[in-house]
């Protein structure tokens, strides 16, 4: 497993929160919540962890995070189960295509090309994959269709690993680590913030949430629910407030109160809405004024089920505010797994996390090897796992 963030921070063992099983989320209930009364930290601040103590090195942090083998197996199993629908749209279609075929001929390669494009790998990534396969066939290194799948798997692995390492979030040595979360409506920004907060809390970091999505009435209360669930402070202004001023105030508080991590929720916007994109730039500038260097991470959330549209969203958001990392949500849904390779190869922006469900713990560090292995798992392996 990769370490998912890097920071020399004071040891905060006593404050580490155990990872708890959470109740299933009732999103209808979230939507129906009355808007919390005007403003401000509706949720009391948690106990601040002590900032004294010996400094911990990155390798110590990693060692501490190393999981017992049994836990890793069950984590992999859960990932693999959650990816089953995504797997259907890529791997099982490939298996069906290769079934009963004895040789790799032009027709098979053409059919494969169509399959890969429709599984969201995109034209350029597909072309590169196919060229690679064709060259190997030509050089007589590849003739068995069963081997072709392995060749594709390793090539996809190389696309993903090359562009995502190092994929760790790098926290500043001092001051709050500010993460600005952006993306179009409904992709899972607020949910992802709740899940990321949970991850940081489990390592003993103090976390503040900022409701800079002042566009929709329910948005602030939705974030406040995630705040309550995590028992962390949520800074909000009145509904309809200027998001830049919310952010300006929140970062002042975060600095004054020594928060480790600040997660800023922004309004969903279409990447084609230029005025809203300008607003994002303004929010970013305001952050830097309050805490020089902030935001340290501009995280774009992409819904993996939206396919190629997700890629164009990323390009336009990147032009406006320079994305530093991506969270890909809803890979437990009917996503076409090719989008992962396409993002890595085409955009060269690291995927930090993947969302594989609606619960607090359903956010995984994106580990390219683990992901590829889970995605390419054979159906027979699934059956073994489920009966195990």
Ligand X SMILES: Nc1nc2c(ncn2[C@@H]2O[C@H](COP(=O)(O)OP(=O)(O)O)[C@@H](O)[C@H]2O)c(=O)[nH]1
Stretch that binds ligand X, among 13-21, 88-96, 313-321, 324-332 (CB under 6 A): 324-332
The interface partner of residue 357, options being ligand X, Mg ion, none and the CB cut-off 5 to 8 Å by kind, is: ligand X
- Count the alpha carbons within 13 Å of 107 in the hemisphere toward its beta carbon: 5
365 binds, among Mg ion, ligand X, none (CB under 5 to 8 A by kind): none
Nearest residue to 244 (alpha-carbon basis) of 192, 188, 288, 297:
288
Cβ closest to ligand X, residue 112 vs residue 225: 225
Run of H or E residues at 247: helix 243-256
d(CA 168, CA 290): 25
Provide the minimum distance between the beta carbon of 223 and ligand X in the complex, in angstroms, as a whole number: 9
Neighbours of 168 (CB within 10 A): 18
Measured from the CB of residue 193, what is the shortest distance to ligand X in angstroms? 8
Find which of ligand X, Mg ion, none residue 332 binds, CB within 5 to 8 Å per kind.
ligand X
Half-sphere exposure at residue 360, Cβ-oriented, CA atoms within 13 angstroms? 20
Residue range at the interface with Mg ion (CB under 5 A); choices 66-74, 92-100, 182-190, 298-306: 182-190
**8-state DSSP, 10:** B
Q: Using the minimum distance from each CB to ligand X, give the nearer residue, 10 or 30.
A: 30
15, 56, 158, 185: which one binds ligand X (CB under 6 A):
185
The answer to whether 258 and 48 are in contact (CB under 8 A) is yes
Instruction: Identify the helix (H) or strand (E) that includes residue 109.
Output: helix 106-116
- Using CB under 6 A as the binding rule, the residues of this chain from 80 to 109 that contact ligand X are none
Beta strands 325-329; 351-355: pairing state: parallel
The residue with tokens 């099982």 is 92
What does 157 interact with, of ligand X, Mg ion, none (CB < 5 to 8 A by kind)?
none
User: How far is it, in rounded angstroms, from Cα 240 to Cα 235?
Assistant: 14
Q: Is 190 in the site for Mg ion (CB under 5 A)?
A: yes
CA dihedral 373, 374, 376, 379 (to 10 degrees): 130
Q: Using the rule CB under 6 A, which residue among 175, 268, 307, 368 binds ligand X?
A: 268
Which residues 347-376 are close enough to bind ligand X by CB under 6 A? 355-358, 362
Give the x/- contact pattern for ligand X in 218-257, rule: CB under 6 A: ----------------------------------------
| Stretch in the footprint of ligand X (CB under 6 A) among 33-41, 55-63, 235-243, 329-337 | 329-337
- In degrees, rounded to 5, the angle at the alpha carbon of residue 210 between the alpha carbons of residues 209 and 216 is 120
Residues 6+ apart with CB under 8 A from 39: 236, 237, 238
Q: Which does 333 bind (CB under 5 to 8 A by kind): Mg ion, ligand X, none?
A: ligand X
* Angle in degrees, CA 199, 238, 183, rounded to 5: 45
Contacts to Mg ion from residues 209-228, by CB under 5 A: none
Give the total residue count for the chain.
388
Q: Toward ligand X, which CB reaches closer, 53 or 186?
A: 186
Site string for Mg ion, 296-325 (x = CB under 5 A): ------------------------------
- If you write DSSP's letter for every residue of 66-90 in order, what string do you get? PPPHHHHHHHHHHHHHHTHHHHIII
β-bridge mates for residue 302, sequence order: 328
Decide whether 167 or 210 has the Cβ nearer to Mg ion: 210
Which of residues 171 and 335 has its CB atom nearest to ligand X in the complex? 335
Minimum Å distance from CB 330 to ligand X? 4
Pairing of strands 363-365, 351-355: antiparallel
* Interacting partner of 122 out of Mg ion, ligand X, none (Cβ under 5 to 8 A depending on kind): none
Which one of 120, 168, 297, 332 is in contact with ligand X (CB under 6 A)? Answer: 332
* Binding region for Mg ion (CB under 5 A): 189-190
* Binding region for ligand X (CB under 6 A): 27, 183, 185-191, 268, 329-330, 332-333, 355-358, 362
């Amino acid at each position: 497993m990769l370490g998912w963030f890097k920071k020399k921070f004071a040891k905060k063992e006593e404050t580490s929160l155990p990872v708890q099983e959470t109740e299933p989320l009732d999103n209808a209930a979230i939507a129906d919540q009355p808007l919390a009364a005007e403003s401000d930290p509706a949720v009391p601040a948690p106990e601040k962890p002590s900032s004294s103590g010996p400094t911990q090195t990155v390798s110590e942090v990693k060692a501490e995070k190393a999981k017992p083998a049994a836990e890793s197996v069950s984590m992999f199993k859960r990932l693999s189960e959650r990816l089953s629908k995504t797997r259907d749209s890529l791997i099982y279609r490939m298996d069906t295509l290769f079934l009963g075929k004895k040789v790799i001929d032009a027709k098979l390669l053409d059919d494969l090309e169509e399959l890969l494009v429709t599984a969201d790998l995109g034209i350029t990534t597909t072309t590169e994959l196919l060229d690679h396969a064709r060259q190997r066939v030509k050089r007589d290194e590849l003739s068995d269709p069963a081997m072709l799948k392995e060749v594709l798997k390793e090539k996809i692995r190389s696309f993903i690993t090359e562009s995502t390492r190092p994929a760790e979030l790098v926290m500043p040595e001092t001051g709050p680590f500010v993460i600005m979360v952006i993306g179009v409506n409904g992709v899972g920004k607020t949910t992802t913030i709740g899940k990321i907060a949970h991850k940081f809390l489990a390592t003993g970091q103090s976390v503040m949430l900022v409701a800079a999505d002042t566009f929709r009435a329910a948005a602030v209360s939705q974030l406040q629910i995630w705040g309550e669930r995590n028992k962390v402070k949520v800074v909000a202004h009145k509904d309809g407030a200027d998001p830049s001023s919310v952010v300006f105030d929140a970062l002042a508080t975060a600095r004054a109160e020594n928060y480790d991590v600040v997660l800023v929720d922004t309004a969903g916007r279409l990447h084609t809405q230029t005025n809203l994109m300008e607003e994002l730039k303004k929010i970013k500038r305001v952050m830097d004024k309050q805490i020089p260097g902030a935001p340290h991470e501009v995280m774009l959330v992409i819904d993996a089920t939206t396919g190629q549209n997700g890629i164009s969203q990323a390009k336009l958001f990147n032009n406006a505010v320079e994305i530093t990392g991506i969270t890909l949500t809803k890979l437990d849904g009917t996503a076409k797994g090719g989008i992962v390779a396409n993002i890595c190869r085409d955009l060269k922006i690291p995927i930090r996390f993947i969302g594989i469900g609606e619960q607090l713990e359903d956010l995984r560090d994106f580990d390219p090897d683990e992901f590829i292995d889970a995605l390419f798992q054979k159906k027979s392996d699934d059956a073994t796992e489920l009966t195990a």
